[in-house]
Amino acid sequence: MARRARELLLLVMLGASVPAVAGLFSDDEARARIQALAQENQKLREDLKALEERVGRLDAQLRAQGLIDLVQQVEGLKAELAKLRGQLEVNSHAVETLDKRSRDLYVDLDDRLRKLETGATPLAAPAAAAAGTPGAATDTGAESRAYEAAFNLFKIGNYQAAIAAFENFLKTYPASPLAANAQYWIGNSYSALRDYKTAIAAQQKLLSLYPNSAKVPDALLNMASAQTELGDRATARKTLEDLVARYPTSPAADIARKRLSSLK
């Protein structure tokens, strides 16, 4: 009897504990699922982060490719600019060379004309000197040396000093047969200094004071060059046409004809 009572009591106790055990297993399963979901979410977050990083890298690559294209275009423009700059330097050098050669030719021509005018000797002495007047030949030699000194300054490119020397020559020897030449080289010196307005004024003074000089055609040509440099192409054309009309057989007229064709 006592044994049966104990067995019944044990069965009651076991029955009472079954729901608790069942509840215990349900909680564990829930926690397991939560943990599984948490792990899955973590993996999703990692995958999402990896995907975002990949998208970021792809975006950066696309942007970089776009920049590379721009850089290539810029480099191409730089190369073209360098080529143009090089060509400009070549052209500028050619212009300077031609300009110098032109000045050298005029210098040489001036030398030859001056020697023809003076007989390749110091300027001819006046009648007083021929009669034996003391100091006359010396004065004539000083005149020739003064012009030569000013002309040498021009030839070496010292234009400011050449202008001063030629102006001093004109003050000292206003009636010299080389006065028109001196006035011409004053104007040419101003052109070389790119003072074109003053160059034009100097050559106009030559035309006014020495209208019959052999230097008039050259003075007109120099004026036209200065007018062109100032952007006054219409006046330059008129000056060149005047030169060709008045002095058609002069060397300056040949140059003027070529310039007129380029001004069309």
- Residue 153: give its domain's CATH number: 1.25.40.10
Domain for residue 114, yes or no? no
Contacts for 45-50: CB closer than 8 Å, 24+ residues apart: none
Q: Residue 7 is which amino acid? A: E
Domain for residue 218, yes or no? yes
Most confident of 69-78, 105-114, 184-193: 184-193
Q: How far is CA 103 from CA 100, 108, 191, in A?
A: 5, 9, 11
pLDDT in tens, 132-148: 334 444 466 889 999 99
Domain for residue 104, yes or no? no
Query: Considering the entire predicted model, what is its pTM?
Result: 0.53
CA distance 238 to 233: 9
Enclosing domain of residue 75: 25-98
In this structure, the answer to whether residues 153 and 47 fall within a common structural domain is: no
Q: What domain count does the chain have?
A: 2
pLDDT in tens, 1-23: 555 555 555 444 545 444 444 44
Helix, strand, coil proportions of the chain in percent (round to 5)? Answer: 85, 0, 15
Q: pLDDT grade, residue 214 (50/70/90)? A: very high
Domain for residue 160, yes or no? yes
pLDDT in tens, 67-89: 666 666 666 665 565 555 545 54
In this structure, the answer to whether residues 250 and 144 fall within a common structural domain is: yes
